[in-house]
């Protein structure tokens, strides 16, 4: 399969406005030819890591919460817009992976000393695993309309990963 065939074909002659396109594609990461969701989750970690390394836990926690909520709202809107141009749940719309990954990282902002660095990798792996395989009814959330369905399954995958990371963070 040609990597360009993964890009959505326009379903309208109108040009997709820049701002919602950039929000929906995680600032263009969704256009990467292989595994755009994985790249978007890595972008989430790259954006979050300086906050984690340089700020105290309270600041990291609240900035992560605020960024997650803001990008969830903006990403839901932009993802809904993306369906007008690229069809249902286009592969390049990867804002949902950023939001889900940030949720999976929240337990590392708990104030429990310094979490082991490998828990970041575990949070990433668990989130991607749950996002791809969608266990425990997560897949049913995709049935919600527009960007809500695109975002909801990743939020659920993020929370499921966060629960496991939280348990590991407490007991390891």
Q: What is the pLDDT of residues 15-41, one digit of tens each?
A: 999 999 999 999 999 999 899 999 999
**Domain assignment present for 6:** no
In a domain, 49, yes or no: yes
State pLDDT tens for residues 133-172: 999 999 999 899 989 999 999 999 999 999 999 998 888 7
Mean pLDDT along residues 61-88: 96
Q: What is the C-alpha separation between 154 and 88, in angstroms, rounded?
A: 16
CB 144 within 8 A of CB 138: no
pLDDT for position 117: 84
Mean of the pLDDT values across residues 105-111? 85
CB 25, CB 92: distance < 8 Å: yes
Q: What is the pLDDT of residue 1?
A: 45
Q: Which range among 9-13, 45-49, 50-54, 82-86 shows the weakest confidence by mean pLDDT? A: 9-13
Position 2 in a domain:
no
pLDDT of residue 37: 95
Confidence of residue 54 (pLDDT cuts 50, 70, 90): very high
SS (H, E, C) 23-83: HHCCCCHHHCCCCHHHHHHHHHHHHHHHHHHHCCHHHHHHHHHHHHHHHHHHHHHHHHHHH
* % the chain with pLDDT above 90: 76
Residue 135 lies in a domain: yes
pLDDT of residue 11: 63
Half-sphere exposure of 17 toward its Cβ, with a 13 Å CA cutoff? 9
* H helix or E strand, kind and range, residue 137: none
Q: Is residue 69 part of a domain?
A: yes
Output the pLDDT for position 111.
64
Lookup result for tokens 């749940």? 89
In angstroms, how far is the first alpha carbon of the chain from the final one? 43
Which residue, 13, 154, 145, is CA-closest to 80? Answer: 145
* Structural domain containing residue 163: 24-171
If you average pLDDT over every residue of the chain, what do you get? 90
pLDDT digits (tens, 9 = 90+) for 126-141: 999 999 999 999 999 9
Residue 115 CA to residue 12 CA, distance in Å, equals: 48
> Residue 159 to residues 14, 73, 85, 87, 156: CA-CA distances in angstroms?
37, 17, 30, 27, 5
Tell me how many domains the chain contains.
Answer: 1
In a domain? residue 4? no
Is residue 47 one of the residues assigned to a domain? yes
Higher per-residue confidence, 2 vs 38: 38
């Amino acid at each position: 399969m040609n990597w360009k065939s993964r890009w959505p074909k326009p379903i309208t002659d109108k040009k997709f406005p820049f701002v919602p396109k950039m929000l929906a594609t995680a600032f263009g990461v969704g256009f990467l030819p292989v595994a755009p969701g994985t790249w978007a989750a890595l972008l989430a970690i790259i954006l979050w890591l300086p906050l984690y390394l340089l700020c105290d836990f309270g600041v990291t926690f609240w900035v992560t919460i605020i960024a997650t909520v803001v990008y969830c709202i903006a990403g839901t809107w932009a993802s809904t817009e993306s369906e007008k141009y690229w069809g249902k749940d286009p592969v390049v719309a990867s804002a949902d992976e950023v939001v889900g990954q940030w949720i999976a990282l929240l337990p590392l902002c708990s104030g429990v000393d310094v979490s082991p660095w490998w828990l970041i990798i575990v949070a990433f792996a668990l989130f991607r695993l749950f996002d791809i395989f969608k266990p425990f009814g997560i897949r049913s959330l995709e049935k919600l309309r527009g960007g809500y369905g695109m975002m909801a399954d990743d939020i659920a995958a993020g929370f499921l990963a966060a629960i496991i990371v939280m348990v590991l963070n407490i007991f390891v």
